[in-house]
Structure 1
Amino acid sequence: MRRITVLRGCLLVALFSAVPAAHAQRPLEELKAEGRVDDDTVRGEAENVLTLRRVLQASARSAPEILAALARERQADGRLLSTLGEFDLLFNGSGFSRVLGYYDGSHAEMRAYQPLSNNGGQVYAGYRVSRGDFPIYEDQYFTNKLGEVKVGGVFSLLRDRLTDRRRTDRALARNDVEIAGLERQMVAIGVQQRAIDAYLTWVSSGQRLAVYRDLLALATSRQGGIERQIGLGMLPAIVAVENRQNVVQRQVLVVQAERTLDVAANDLSFFLRDADGRPILPRSTQLPRDLPAIANPLPRVGGVDRIERPDLAAILVRVDKARAQRLLAINDMRPRLDVNGEASKDLGSEGLGGPSRTPFETKVGLTFSLPLQRRAARGRAAEADAKIDELGRERGRLEDKIVIEINRLGVRTAAADRQIELAGLDVTLADQLAEAERRRLFLGASDLLKVNLREQSALQARINLLDARYQFAALRGELIAATADEQQLGLETPTRSGVADASPDRFSADSPVSQASIRLSRERAALIAAA
């Protein structure tokens, strides 16, 4: 009888103390220290793990939404180049020759025009030459033998002096380029935030599957021991049926977790792409052991008072556009006063036109016009004023919304951190209870049903811990997106080609956005002062 009791105790110890293979795995670094694996194995294992950084880099490089935003930015570049064409050097030429009739005069002329980029006028230079005789009513065609050279210019003194339609269109096009770049950044931030969430879901699904497999391994390892005890008459046959039912139920959980992992891997493939932009389906062997560590982007625990983001900067650029349109409307309400000057000189010996062409000539003129009612310009100015007011209020609303959202995420993140601590304590206590129940079963003071209930409770505690860790990491992902932390989003070096900009702080004093804002502010101040 004593031998039977000892045998039963040994079987129960082996039965309920079994450790599943997933838990028995040891870090490769420890195996390497013992000489059981080499450096190549450790390096290959490390390289085989799919990291969040790799996903974000692939997404930033090849995500369709980011590439579409880059295409829109190139469209804005094209429109800017088109407006710069208004300042292109223009060349034209003309000529004629009388082939029949009393007069035999021929005339050829060419001229180049250069619009001014800092004034509404233009400068020009030309050359003309004539041969033969012209009627008196075409006396202006006569030149000396070597022709005539001419230079001149038109300069705006009131309307079009500070700004005009061409320069306003150029400024608006430049603003559109900046807005397209800022919108591309916002699109990229949104894409990267979804990539982080897809990666966290995939890793969390893999961890859930590992927990369910551990639970299944416990029930499976019991079955053989229970059947042996039944064969020895130590347990009733119904215990084997009960344990087989537990095995089947846990197999169902494993199958469901496997399908969830497959779905998560499929969703992640939208962001994980190869060099040609084709989706890559991650393998379960690439799963890391833990969720990635995402640093807290907040300057202090508890929230922020102010934040800079591309969508806020885009509103400022739209304000610049409205102000440029207002300045153009104010310009159109002014009278036009243009001064023009021209100098010309005939070269060579005297032609048929006589000696009046030979001296050096200069001309100066004025052009004046005054719009009387100016309702169209006043209406555009009033519309621009209202637009500036609307955008100012929109920026204030958006700033408040962003700050409140970030502070809310900060509070939730702090609560999630505390939840992880409590969930970890719950796991420890649940494991202790499950182990104690196994010992009670060994002493004959419990049964398999209670052991299963304790194990289910320990399972739920582990799932709760995984959920808390996922929630904490997901909130951190939302925080870095809300604060536009481009470094952690894998956007620290973005360029037009989809590769990244090295500056982690896009809104530093030396950043392109800040430099553009400073430049635009100075231009606006100069225009307003001159107005």
Structure 2
Amino acid sequence: MKKTLLGYCIYLCIFSHDALSKEIFTVEHMKQYLTKENPYIYTAVGQQYIDEARIRSAEGDFDTRLSVAYDQKEYPISTGEFSDISLNKPTENGTEFIVGYRKAEGIQEYNNIKTGNEGELRLGVKVPVFSLLNNMNERKYTLDSAKINATRSAFESQNNLRNLYTHIVTSYYQLLYYSEVLKLEKRLLHKATKRDRFIEKRVRSGDLADVALLESKQQIINREQRVLRTKNSYIQALQTFLKYMNLSKKEFDGKYALPSLKILKKEKIIFHNVISQALKRRPDLKALESQRTKLDLDTAYNSVSAYPKLNLFAYGVHDIQYGEGIKVGLQFDIPLERRSYKGKRVEIQKGMSQIEEEKNRLLLELKTNLSNLMYALDIVNQNIELGEKETKIVESLEEAENKKYEVGSSDLFQINQREIRTLEVKKKQLEYHLNALVIQQEIKKEMGEGMTL
């Protein structure tokens, strides 16, 4: 007997030391696992990195280009040789500069070029007149579009993280709930096993009939089944949560312990503050503003289409043998019907209207959702207060029923009913705490709170 007691004490000491050596896993601990290396996180923000890379690609339109050309021909009545090497530098306002060297010998039918034996140096400029006046051209439009898309993508990533984070935190609260319910079910089983020993002694002494022991064994089996069902729910909740953390169960169990659901902080939230903060923070609203900015850019780019395409160019040359020269030119092009310009203008106007209505819809849903959530939170908090009173009552009734059973004025069925009722009330109270935390997290999500990388 002494050895058994000593072994039990040693077990308790080892278990207590192991529990104390673990960290209590809180919401703050999640952040060290919710990084870009986490597949759920990267999936939520991956498009942002792609769109940021496209800015670099669009900047390539302004790269200096090296061009080399060589042409040699020997026709029946003409021969010629032409070589050209040049650097072309486009600028953001649409103007292009060129500097190079070329040499032409013989007849150049297509180029109409003739140089001295040592070739010529040339310097030129091409000016798109109306693009320059409107400060808009295709290259600038492509680059600015890429920047706006990257900004919008960043807001959309924040929105994805906002929704994902709420889902993960909710799964964490559900895990704590099942952990607490499992403890309740184990306590219920412990009561039955403890009472079974008492019943067994009374049956042996002849104070109770053998059937009382059978009823007790059946009650234990029933409660063992309840523990197994709850344990299955707990394990599933744990595995669901750990997949978001990208952690194994063995690693989690070896390092962390779970807190009680009831001790988690309940926050007081003011409706007026919630609305004002949501309007400032919501990334989906900011993403809509980015779409509006993109349509403003489309408007500016389309406005250039209202004018003819007018390019002026001038080249100055210095022939090493013959001296200087100059060439000027003009290119003029205009679509007479201008259907592309008119159609794009209507398209942009419709897009602006759609964005405005989408914003109105989001604001309406935001205010409605927050109003409903605030009301639901108030009801849950009232239920928590009532639940505390109910818990004290059922515990007192259970205790009274146990005393009646000990003196023989009650039976196992009544005891079982009282204990089950106590468990259900405590379980309902846990559900209220879970709902309060989940609603709080939903309010934070509606306010635009989330996580940052």
Give your verdict on TM over 0.5. Answer: yes
Aligned partner of 1:203 in structure 2 is 176
Deviations 1:6-49 (A, max 9, x none): xxxxxxxxxxxxxxxxxxx9xxxxx9xxxx79998676222xx4
Give the superposition deviation at 1:422.
1.6
Measured in 2, the distance between the counterparts of 1:267 and 1:242 equals 38
Change (3 A) 1:221 1:416: same
Q: Indicate whether 1:244 and 2:224 are aligned.
A: no
Return the offset for 1:392: 1.1
Contact kept in structure 2, 1:159 and 1:334, CA below 8 Å:
no
Alpha-carbon distance between aligned partners in 2 of 1:470 and 1:334, rounded to the nearest angstrom: 64
| Structure 1 residues 302 and 225, CA gap change in structure 2 (3 angstroms) | farther
Counterpart amino acid of residue 411 in structure 1: Y
5+ long unaligned stretches in structure 2: 1-8
Whole-angstrom CA distance in 1 between matches of 2:337 and 2:418: 89
- Is 1:60–1:192's contact at 8 Å kept on the other side of the alignment? no
**Conserved? CA contact 2:79–2:107, under 8 Å:** no
1:293 equivalent to 2:264? Answer yes
Q: Which moved more, 1:54-63 or 1:459-468?
A: 54-63
Q: 2:379 aligns with which of 415, 419, 423?
A: 415
Which among 289, 304, 308 is matched to residue 275 of structure 2? 304
Name segments (4+ residues, structure 1) moved above 6 Å.
Answer: 36-40, 98-105, 136-139, 278-281
Could you say if the C-alpha distance between residues 398 and 313 of structure 1 is closer, same or farther in structure 2, counting changes exceeding 3 Å? same
How far does the alpha carbon of each residue in 1:362-420 deviate from its partner, in whole angstroms, 9 at most, with x for none?
44544444443212210111111111111111111112212321232222222222222
Does residue 226 of structure 1 match 2:199? Answer: yes
User: Hey, what's the Cα distance between the residues in 2 that align with 1:102 and 1:370?
Assistant: 40
Provide the C-alpha distance between the structure 2 equivalents of 1:438 and 1:314, rounded to a whole number of angstroms: 63
The alpha-carbon distance between structure 1 residues 465 and 285, as it changes in their structure 2 partners (threshold 3 A), is farther
Indicate conservation of the 8 Å contact 1:344/1:361, yes or no: yes
What is the alpha-carbon distance in structure 2 between the residues aligned to residue 287 and residue 196 of structure 1?
A: 16
Unmatched runs of 5 consecutive residues or more in structure 1: 1-24, 26-30, 351-356, 495-531
Choose 176-185 or 308-317, whichever is displaced more: 176-185
Q: Distance in 2 between matches of 1:299 and 1:127?
A: 73
Match of 1:480 among 434, 444, 447: 444
What is the distance in 1 between the residues matched to 2:111 and 2:14?
Answer: 102
Q: TM-score, normalised by structure 1?
A: 0.73
User: 1:123: which partner in 2?
Assistant: 97
Equivalent residues of 1:416, 1:471 under 8 A apart = yes
Q: Residues 87 and 114 of structure 1 are in contact (CA less than 8 Å); yes or no, is this contact kept in structure 2?
A: yes
Structure 1 96/449 Cα, relative in aligned 2: closer, same or farther at 3 Å? Answer: closer
- In structure 2, distance between residues paired with 1:240 and 1:149: 112
Counterparts of 1:14-53 in structure 2, within 5 Å, are 44-46=21-23, 49-53=24-28
**1:492-523: CA deviations, max 9, x gaps?**
3x1xxxxxxxxxxxxxxxxxxxxxxxxxxxxx
Name the amino acid aligned to 1:289.
P
Change (3 A) 1:235 1:105: closer
Please name the residue that 2:154 is paired with: 181
Greater helix percent: which structure?
2
Taking structure 2 as the reference length, the TM-score comes to: 0.84
Equivalenced residue count is 439
User: Does residue 297 of structure 2 align to residue 327 of structure 1?
Assistant: no
CA distance in 2, matches of 1:96, 1:136: 10
Between the aligned residues of both structures, percent identity stands at 19
Higher percent of residues as strand: 2
| Residue of 359, 362, 384 corresponding to 1:398 | 362
Aligned to 2:415: 451
Give runs of aligned pairs for residues 234-273 of structure 1, distance below 5 A: 234-273=207-246
Q: 1:427 aligns with which of 391, 395, 403?
A: 391
Aligned equivalents of 2:254 and 2:271: distance in 1? 37
